[in-house]
A and B are shown apart, each in its own frame.
Chain A
Amino acid sequence: MWSAIIFLVFAFVAVVAAINLVVQTHPISSALSLIGVMGSLAVLYLLLGAEFIAAAQLVVYAGAIMVLFVFVIMLLNAGAENAKPIGSRAKYFGLPLLIAFLGIMSFVVQAVIPGGNNVVFGEYHAGPRDVGKALFTDYLLPFEVVSVLILIAIIGAIVLARKEID
């Protein structure tokens, strides 16, 4: 009962925020609404019993990545997009495409996922311990690889941005 309500509320918030992301012309507004999406997704993760992922969502996404976005937006002091009429190609090709995507996807989901397995809060939860175990036993190699990737990204970012700063 409760979990259903919470899901609906935060799903609603997420969708509204996402729509806001798309329709807002100003990057900061989009960024804020994206943060909203992430926050509500974090709650949904908690509902799904993914405590660690929820926390990571908050720390990594909302706390670090989006801060970076906001920082850059502020740094460039990017103004709002000057409203241009949507191109005919986008209108007559993109829009139907999206609708089709949405419809078919949901149809497929409905078709593939058998009903009757409800998501109930607390039935299953994987805390940091479980995630850590899996991460450092089965997924050790990917973990290391990803860490190397991060290092590369740091260096790349520094190299790219240095020109910008000084």
Chain B
Amino acid sequence: MLLWLIPILPFCGFLINGLLGRRMPKALVNVFAVGTVALSFAWVLKTVMQLGPIEKAYVEHYYTWIQSGALNIGLDFAVDRLSAVMLLIVTGVGLLIHIYATGYMAHEGGYYRFFAYMNLFMFFMLILVLAGNYLVLFVGWEGVGLCSYLLIGFYFLEKFATDAGNKAFIVNRIGDFGFSLALFFIVRQFGSLDFGTVFAKAQGMPTEASAGLITGICLLLLVGATGKSAQIPLFVWLPDAMAGPTPVSALIHAATMVTAGVYMTARSAPLYLHAPLAMEAVAIIGIATAFLAATIGLAQNDIKKVFAYSTVSQLGYMFVGVGTGAFGAGIFHLMTHAFFKALLFLGAGSVIHALSGEQDLRNMGGLRTKIPITFWTLLCASLAIAGVPFTSGFFSKDEILVSAYHYQPWIYWVGVVTAGMTAFYVFRAMFLAFFGKYRGHAHPHESPLSMTGPLMILALLSLGGGFINVPHWLEPMFPAAAEASGESWPMYVASFAGLFGIFMAWLFYVAQPKLADQFAGAMGILYKAVYNKYFVDEIYDATVVEPLVQGSRTVLWRGMDAGVIDGLVNAIGARSRGVGGILRRLQAGNVRGYAAWVVFGCVLLLIVIGLGTGGAK
């Protein structure tokens, strides 16, 4: 089936663009960048067609990577229903965003570099999705982290961009730390990293009522997931990651990479099903993140920041889904979210592009008429994320909420509130941007087809995507997934909350624009807290970063490195110099002296031999 072709194609693109791109015209760069992704997408389609109903995972083993004792880790790819869905999402959305980027980045420097990174990202993401065991998945995991770092810091001339990149990277390290620990535990527990064997063994084990090893593993995995998918407490990097170009935000920080955590959790479902505690933790973290991020999103003025926080909260939803056992729903929401959130970002990008770089909502407005296509497509996305009935978001989100209701009602209610807030801030952004009268100074212009084309496709997807019944398709993988039973009122409540949020937004920002400020004034301290993202960054700085920096400066650098290590090295150097001073006398540069020494050695050897064989005769 040549699965390896799928990731390798973008990698070729990366190589060509990265090595030769500097000298190639942009058109050629486009050809390679987009062409390879398109080919990979086509190959994914072909593969999925051929595999048909994938009852059991289809594995391709390429070679044995690590073999030590009983442990035997191969480089192998696997495709089952879950990864098939992921493959389609990643390559499809990725393709659209690549096309979009050709238009968006047209006037940027480092064009080839950008696309080289994008292709490299596709490569690693596909490895992550195709991975047949945890280690390969980890490779992809780290790889996408690297690419995200590179792309966030794409404008490496601005300090904030590089800082944001570093932040993302470091925060992810924390998560990866947990993840790798989890891997070690898995090896220790199951003696393998291969999905098949691990899960098969896990099936045999009893469900852990109290905290056990599997629970520990799952919690560590969760740490990794929180890092990659920007959940509490590690969500802080994602909003800053918006420093990267908008297509990056769309592809990496909305559609694909950040969902890797969800994917990984769903992938490890058999483990989680044996660790209810861990699942509960997942659900709680998810809902908390969703709520917190939503509240922050209410008060942001940077359009991308708004969408960033909505991403965080949507990811929270997904975690709620997988945490409450509705893995299918989680992945479903992942897909729909990929559609409409990518669309939101691309639309935002289109707006920014139209206003030539303006990102602050307060300087927009009344763009409805000036850039209609962007407006209408963005509207679709907003409807979808708000969960208006029969849009894609409606189905997925509501399935999650329903399963949450069956899991624990309070999670459901929080979720409903969050849904309302989501609708509110998304439409707040919409109204601020497109209604009222224009408050900026730039001259808006509609984006080229290369950008609007993907927008429209994604709009259709985010409207109709809900009718793709992913959960049903995924059922055989997650037998234990609790499905919505008879009563259907929770759905109506949720969607009503969405509509209510939209109405409030309309009330605040279109009907009586004064109201918003009065409301903010009335809220006062709370508003300030929300506006400043609950001072999370500051808290982290005070509690984590500063101590680390100080500690490493005083203890590690001055004490450890300068004191002990250098001292050792210098001591060794001094000793060897002393010895050399003595030995130097042998090396007078006089050849015959050397020869004499050689003969001396020979004689010694001979004496030994002679003593050894003395009695032989």
Q: A contacts B directly in the complex (CB < 8 Å)?
A: yes
**Nearest neighbor of A110 in chain B, beta-carbon distance:** B617
B606 touches which of A98, A108, A114 (Cβ 8 Å): A108
A22 to B616, CA, bound (A): 34
B607 within 8 A of A: yes
Q: For residue A111, which residues in chain B have a CB less than 8 angstroms away from its CB?
A: 610, 613-614, 616-617
Contact B599 A112 (CB under 8 A): no
Q: For residue A114, which residues in chain B have a CB less than 8 angstroms away from its CB?
A: 617
Q: Quick one: given A111-B613, A111-B617, are A105 and B606 in contact (CB under 8 Å)?
A: yes
Contact A97 B603 (CB under 8 A): yes
Contact B600 A97 (CB under 8 A): yes
Q: Quick one: given A97-B600, A97-B603, A100-B603, are A108 and B613 in contact (CB under 8 Å)?
A: yes
A112 touches which of B592, B593, B602, B613 (Cβ 8 Å): B613
A93 to B609, CA, bound (A): 22
A107 within 8 A of B: yes
A97 touches which of B593, B596, B614 (Cβ 8 Å): B596
Q: Quick one: given A101-B603, A104-B607, are A94 and B613 in contact (CB under 8 Å)?
A: no
Q: Quick one: given A97-B600, A111-B617, are A104 and B610 in contact (CB under 8 Å)?
A: yes
Contact B602 A108 (CB under 8 A): no
Q: For residue B613, which residues in chain A have a CB less than 8 angstroms away from its CB?
A: 108, 111-112
CB distance from B594 to the nearest CB of A (A): 12
A104 touches which of B592, B600, B606 (Cβ 8 Å): B606
A63 to B376, CA, bound (A): 97
How many of chain A's residues have a CB under 8 angstroms from any CB in B? 16
| B565-617 with Cβ < 8 A to chain A | 592-593, 596, 599-600, 602-603, 606-607, 609-610, 613-614, 616-617
Q: For residue A90, which residues in chain B have a CB less than 8 angstroms away from its CB?
A: 592, 596
Contact A101 B606 (CB under 8 A): yes
Contact B599 A108 (CB under 8 A): no
Contact B610 A94 (CB under 8 A): no
A114 to B603, CA, bound (A): 22
A64 to B606, CA, bound (A): 34
Contact B602 A101 (CB under 8 A): yes
* Max count, chain A CB within 10 A of own CB: residue among B600, B603, B606, B613: B603
CB distance from A122 to the nearest CB of B (A): 29
A93 to B599, CA, bound (A): 11
Contact A104 B603 (CB under 8 A): yes
**Nearest neighbor of A104 in chain B, beta-carbon distance:** B606
A114 to B617, CA, bound (A): 7
A137 to B600, CA, bound (A): 39
CB distance from B19 to the nearest CB of A (A): 34
Q: For residue A94, which residues in chain B have a CB less than 8 angstroms away from its CB?
A: 596, 599
User: What string of 1s and 0s marks CB contacts (under 8 Å) between A96-124 and chain B?
Assistant: 01101100110110111010000000000
**Nearest neighbor of B609 in chain A, beta-carbon distance:** A108
A114 to B613, CA, bound (A): 12
Q: For residue B607, which residues in chain A have a CB less than 8 angstroms away from its CB?
A: 104
A114 to B606, CA, bound (A): 18
Q: For residue B593, which residues in chain A have a CB less than 8 angstroms away from its CB?
A: 89
In the complex, 17 of the A-B residue pairs with CB atoms within 8 angstroms, ordered by the A residue number, are A89-B593, A90-B592, A93-B596, A94-B599, A97-B603, A98-B599, A101-B599, A101-B606, A104-B603, A104-B606, A104-B607, A104-B610, A107-B610, A110-B617, A111-B610, A111-B613, A111-B617
The list of the 10 closest CB pairs from A to B, nearest first, reads A104-B606, A111-B617, A108-B610, A111-B613, A111-B616, A100-B603, A101-B603, A104-B610, A97-B599, A94-B596
4 extra interface residue pairs, beta carbon distance < 8 Å, beyond A104-B610, A107-B610: A90-B596, A100-B603, A111-B614, A112-B616
